[in-house]
Amino acid sequence: MSDLERAKCLLEGHTFAVVRGSSEFVSCERGVKPLLRLLPEDWKGAAAADRVVGKAAAFLYVLLGVSTVYAEVLSAPAEAVLLGHGIAVSCRTHTDAIINRAGTGPCPMESAVRDLTDPQEALAAIRTRLVELSAR
């Protein structure tokens, strides 16, 4: 079984899974939190499976060094980031944008990175937005 197939199997019952050989990590946390927990680890060449991948998550996958990402829901901006960094991507559902959990507007993480192109700048913007959200 390939790393991607294993990651997709591990996704069942979780929100996120990453696999490289015998190493694996799974999480039930929502949003970008499980990806942030893995940084600054190097997951070069790993395969990831995720419930929702927007542009913010895509930048974090770039920083982790994964080689392939499967998303149950993938936004067009996320796909552009992943493909632009040589990461293979597949999905079950493709969408124009990721909305917030209340369904009332854009995802706050997506808004934070909307105009960014550099993964390190995106990481800083994501961390800043998380601080802002936790202060509410």
User: In this predicted model, what pLDDT tens digit does every residue of 96-129 receive, in sequence order?
Assistant: 999 999 999 999 999 999 999 999 999 999 999 9
- For residue 104, the model assigns a pLDDT of 95
Cα–Cα distances (Å) from 19 to 59, 100, 131, in that order, read: 18, 28, 29
User: In this predicted model, what pLDDT tens digit does every residue of 4-34 receive, in sequence order?
Assistant: 999 999 999 999 999 999 999 999 999 999 9
- The whole model's pTM is what? 0.96
Neighbours of 9 (CB within 10 A): 13
Look up residue 32 and give its two tokens. Answer: 């970008």
Q: Where are the domains of the chain?
A: 3-134
Q: Measure the CA–CA gap between 136 and 69, rounded to whole angstroms.
A: 32
User: In this predicted model, what pLDDT tens digit does every residue of 41-77 receive, in sequence order?
Assistant: 999 999 999 999 999 999 999 999 999 999 999 999 9
- For residue 136, the model assigns a pLDDT of 77
Q: Measure the CA–CA gap between 48 and 89, rounded to whole angstroms.
A: 10
- For residue 119, the model assigns a pLDDT of 98
Determine the average pLDDT of the residues in 68-97. Answer: 98
Nearest to 46 by CA among 26, 28, 64, 73: 64
- For residue 55, the model assigns a pLDDT of 98
- For residue 114, the model assigns a pLDDT of 97
Look up residue 39 and give its two tokens. Answer: 């940084």
| CATH superfamily, region 3-134 | Hypothetical protein TM1506 (3.40.140.30)
Determine the average pLDDT of the residues in 83-94. Answer: 98
